[in-house]
Chain A
Amino acid sequence: MKRRVLPGLPLSLGITLVYAAIIIVLPLAALVFKAASLGPADYWRIVSSDRAVASYVVTVSSALAATVFNLVFGLALAWVLVRYRFPGRRLIDALVDLPFALPTAVAGISLTTLFATNGWFGAPLSELGVKVAYTPLGIMIAMAFTSLPFVVRTVQPVLEELDPALEEVAQTLGGSDVSIFRRVILPLLTPALLAGVSLSFARSLGEFGAIIFIAGNQPFSTEITALLAFIRLEEYDYPASAAIASVMLIAAFVMLAVTNLMQARALRYTVRN
């Protein structure tokens, strides 16, 4: 057998496997197990009830909107942070991580205060007839806030590695700014954007703390799926809670699989002979 440079591989591998099993696989298995204790008919009744379906619609549509917002804004932010040098750049760079560091409840309370009809943003917006707090728009803003760092932090390193000569050579070949962005920059950023977007979307689907303060939590209009699972839990209806949670779990798995496939497609060119 080949001698390894670093000792302790069996030990570290063992720890990793045990850790992964206890922290990740076990709770998920328990969730599936709990949901499975319902019969298929009951399971289907719970996950397809009007209230549950309404919560999926609110959650997924808000998460999609938040993710699209983060895609555009996160890409712009990463671009500015990488390509320009200006006073305060490092401060902004540090601020990007703040939504990660902040307790989500704090974020939820501050956003609610800001966007309430008497808040700094909410007051002028309500004069324009736009209501944010206690509407799906508020859910979207809370999701966008908490998942902003994902796109920025996945795109930034790729952008830093992007050779400026690629853009220069495209210019000498007669490419306009739009066609250079579309044909050169965007395809090269696509794998990183996909990774960032899928993380951002997953986080938005599962966000709880920041949303419940701003959402109003009205069944059928501003109740997110995570909250519905939580309500069933509070009612000691564990199987129903697990059933609803399992839908979120399946959605997360499917989405990760799809983004991985898309990423593999976008990275075809890196495959060597």
Chain B
Amino acid sequence: MLPLRWFARRLLLAATVVFGAANAVFFAFRLLPGDPVRSMLGSTNPTPELVEQVRHELALDEPLAVQYGRFMRRLFTGDLGESFQLQQPVGEVIGDQLWPTVQLATAAFALALLAAVTLAVLTAHRPRVRRIVSTLELVAASTPAFWTGMLLLALLSFRWKWFPAMGGSGAVGLVLPAVTLAAGLVGVFSQVLREEMERALEQPFVLTARARGSGETAIRLRHALRHGLIPLVTLAGWAMGALFGGAVVVESVFSRQGLGQVTAGAVAGRDLPVVTGMVLVSALAFALINLAVDVLYRIVDPRIDERSIG
């Protein structure tokens, strides 16, 4: 049912986003103030000869056009260069660390969605309960993830020793990081979900449903919830960003392996090829997620079809 032209246009747009991101990051690193070579060598007060040598090794002394040409050529063959710090191809670094982060993000997303749906269905249009829950949501949204993680560690790992304090393997090691990461999302999810559900509950079609004898539970689950899920689909792109941003912090708090740790380390050490690689990977992921959202959107909301063809 998906119009091919529409899909092609979206695909082109996604490609543009990735290409634009590649350009932005290439020029940002080379044109903005700050010398990557010097900051890479750090505070050792390197001799000018050493700086020049490193610059030459990294091919940063060539004309911009030549650098750009090589960068783009490599990009199209999937070669992201080599990490300054780790002396390892960037593609390999990212590939190695991708899985733990995806695992963490997926678990956190599922947890957050489940909690948010439960909260929203129970509290929509029930002023008393809702006030308590929305206060909790405000506090949750106002708490930085690293602090949530530290509190959980202090209580559940160090004091009560329920969970491993560091790393840990398998499902047990995943619990605390996933809960920490989910905590940041639940508030936003349930707020958006509830607001839309409440809007739906005030619509005439809900009155019509009541008039044909439907009960409260049926109305919430069969009618209002679906309306609530629509804006949540739109939020998927944002959620992916939040999950990835959160992963940087959570992995660092729990000393977990993953892309977040890699990114944090690369930024701190100004390992530009790795940072560039991460930017491209996240742009690609975002573009793909948004493409998926657009498709999903048309499935969830039948009204979209007509609207977006014009």
Q: Do A and B come from one complex?
A: no
Residues of chain B having any CB pair with chain A under 8 Å: none
